[in-house]
Structure 1
């Protein structure tokens, strides 16, 4: 019996070694495979404080560590980025013109290496307007939209099959002013396309208007006669957010530090004002305040908005029937002057770009409350202003 038991054990041991060597995938748990998945963070910056421009970081989700694998500095201040829906291309809005005499900015198209996430330039074109501050891509991946703060205008571009970008197809100059000292002229700030790609919503901070333009995706153009939705005088609409599942939209209002809530007509895309909620905490005194960015949680239950001055995130619960917001808490961003921030596509993490303190702070989102909690992890990046995320296949 002893000899028989010994042989049985030895046979099993040899068999297990053979199986492990021959069929390793059978012994890898889903967790282990997830841990090896490559994640990339693209960080846009102002070209100040020795910034190297556009940073490409490999991100380790297990220990929240990052490694800079590339920096790109084709022009000065790549302050805003947009990922193509197919995740093969990245578009960067640079504040610097194509040459020293060009008062406009530059839009650069990059191909993304599908194994490393590194970038290689496809082409570059003039943004046409002065000081581009936002770029977005329509859901079909055929049109890029660019907003210009100083110029107070917008432009659109046809995205080519190569992933490159055409010269500007549309250029529209806004006119007007409003009541705040910072509203002596138009200041276009963001263009957000509808989920079906039929419309794009343009937020002009200088004239207190949200304008809805018709999109002609095959041409890469936008219509010349928008529907205009005035906001409260002095509010300064900066960013715009459409709920992915509900017929509601949210406008981040920079000058009044408020969030405007709108109902969206499913057929026409027109906006109907519903309510406005404050972003600032009454417990914090600050001489300067300016709302910066706005995002929803992955499940659409929570809305986050960043405050510069108080340097925090305002956290709201989204009523899933009415679309109305209820303030839950204010969370310090762990730095100064939070600009844009990124809600992790997995719904677990939140990254905040604190421009004045030269850091990107990582938060973990609580499963039940939706409240971001500090992980104590900070990435040192000079003058960060935008964060994009990519999961390599």
Structure 2
């Protein structure tokens, strides 16, 4: 029997389990037209929100954010096999995170370890990835301590994300509750992480709430999106010593006259390290910065995203499209990107997906 020709690109969408969401959505993406077609829904009622794809492209991992599982009432993370013909998902196994409200997952660039950020309990879970792509039991649980000046948002640590450096040596962990970005060294041989001795952490401005990280392709520059203040901080890394320093802080991506909600959502760099993109959920915008040779940021564009509460987005340079997920309006809007000028134009295409939280594009060679 002839196997069906695989789609060129697959869009995976993680969601919160609200408003009749079916869990994880799998779409075929046409890079020529920017249109999508639903291929599969993976039924799940525990808010499979944030996703990560194994570097080999054979497995997908999803955190389940509802923390009522196991004896310690924690969240969990699922592993799925990606069908090489269709991109559809088949459940492989599940492990507990031993932390509350896991909201982010990443995988090291060798595909040996998964890092889960537990927002509710302010902890980071390290899980080994086995040869068949399944997840082993947690090998480390690192708990942060401290708090910030905002009593409503920073009464305790809140680990929001963990992002791997391009050379796979460092892990940048954003803690919204303590205004710190912790830096860990990755030991591939031991399958563990340890505090970076040259720079254990960086402290950003009080009350700003670091949320997500974007790493420059050359590893020298690191950008921190700060949720509470809707600003960006710039770090510079010495790749010889792994010393990291704060070189710019509180770079705004809202106008000085803006008085509404400040709620930074997501941050990404283009593959060449020329532009930085950030979303603000308060006024439904995506700000675009150009980067100088010294890594400095200059805002060059501000784009209305076409929906309510733009949480996560992706920049697919291979097809020159930007897709933006809106948590409140239950939509994903599609934009055509002119990478040479940083201009974006809405195509008019819009997906209906309940509470989209994470968008990932997977492409076969």
TM-score range, shorter chain: over 0.9
CA apart distance, 1:347: 5.7
Q: 1:345 to 1:94 in 2, by over 3 A?
A: farther
Q: Counterpart of 2:95?
A: 125
CA apart distance, 1:215: 1.4
Assess if the C-alpha contact under 8 Å between 2:183 and 2:195 holds in 1.
no
Q: Does 1:191 align with 2:157?
A: no
Assess if the C-alpha contact under 8 Å between 2:112 and 2:188 holds in 1.
yes
Residues 190-247 of structure 1 deviation map (CA, whole Å, 9 limit, x = unaligned): 1111122222111101001111112122333212576121111111110111101251
Q: 1:224 to 1:282 in 2, by over 3 A?
A: closer
Q: Counterpart of 1:382?
A: 354
Of 20, 35, 39, the residue aligned with 1:65 is 35
CA distance in 1 between partners of 2:256 and 2:205 (Å): 21
CA distance in 2 between partners of 1:211 and 1:347 (Å): 34
Q: 1:382 to 1:331 in 2, by over 3 A?
A: same
Assess if the C-alpha contact under 8 Å between 2:22 and 2:44 holds in 1.
no
Runs (5+) with no aligned partner, structure 1 = 1-34
Matches within 5 A, 1:287-366: 288-319=261-292, 321-346=293-318, 348-366=320-338
CA distance in 2 between partners of 1:96 and 1:208 (Å): 25
Q: Counterpart of 1:139?
A: 109
CA apart distance, 1:279: 1.3
CA distance in 1 between partners of 2:210 and 2:252 (Å): 14
CA distance in 1 between partners of 2:283 and 2:41 (Å): 31
Runs (5+) with no aligned partner, structure 2 = none
Once the two structures are overlaid, the 10-residue window that deviates more, 211-220 or 116-125, is 211-220
Q: Does 1:83 align with 2:57?
A: no
CA apart distance, 1:270: 2.4
Q: Which runs of 4+ in 1 moved over 6 A?
A: none
Tell me the SS of whatever aligns to 2:322.
strand
CA distance in 2 between partners of 1:129 and 1:246 (Å): 30
CA distance in 2 between partners of 1:358 and 1:154 (Å): 29
Q: Counterpart of 1:200?
A: 171
Q: Does 1:238 align with 2:208?
A: no
Residues 11-59 of structure 1 deviation map (CA, whole Å, 9 limit, x = unaligned): xxxxxxxxxxxxxxxxxxxxxxxx9852110000000011001000111
Matches within 5 A, 1:92-241: 92-97=62-67, 99=69, 103-181=73-151, 182-223=153-194, 227-241=200-214
CA distance in 1 between partners of 2:258 and 2:240 (Å): 42
CA distance in 2 between partners of 1:118 and 1:309 (Å): 34
* Greater share of strand: 2
CA distance in 2 between partners of 1:225 and 1:206 (Å): 20
C-alpha RMSD of matched pairs (Å): 1.8
Residues 232-267 of structure 1 deviation map (CA, whole Å, 9 limit, x = unaligned): 111111011110125111000111110001111112
CA apart distance, 1:281: 2.6
Residues paired across the two proteins, number: 357
Q: Counterpart of 2:253?
A: 279
Residues 83-124 of structure 1 deviation map (CA, whole Å, 9 limit, x = unaligned): 110100100011135747652111101110000000011110
CA apart distance, 1:273: 1.0
Assess if the C-alpha contact under 8 Å between 2:290 and 2:297 holds in 1.
yes
Q: 1:36 to 1:114 in 2, by over 3 A?
A: closer
Assess if the C-alpha contact under 8 Å between 2:31 and 2:319 holds in 1.
no
Assess if the C-alpha contact under 8 Å between 1:134 and 1:190 holds in 2.
yes
Tell me the SS of whatever aligns to 2:333.
strand
Q: 1:195 to 1:246 in 2, by over 3 A?
A: closer
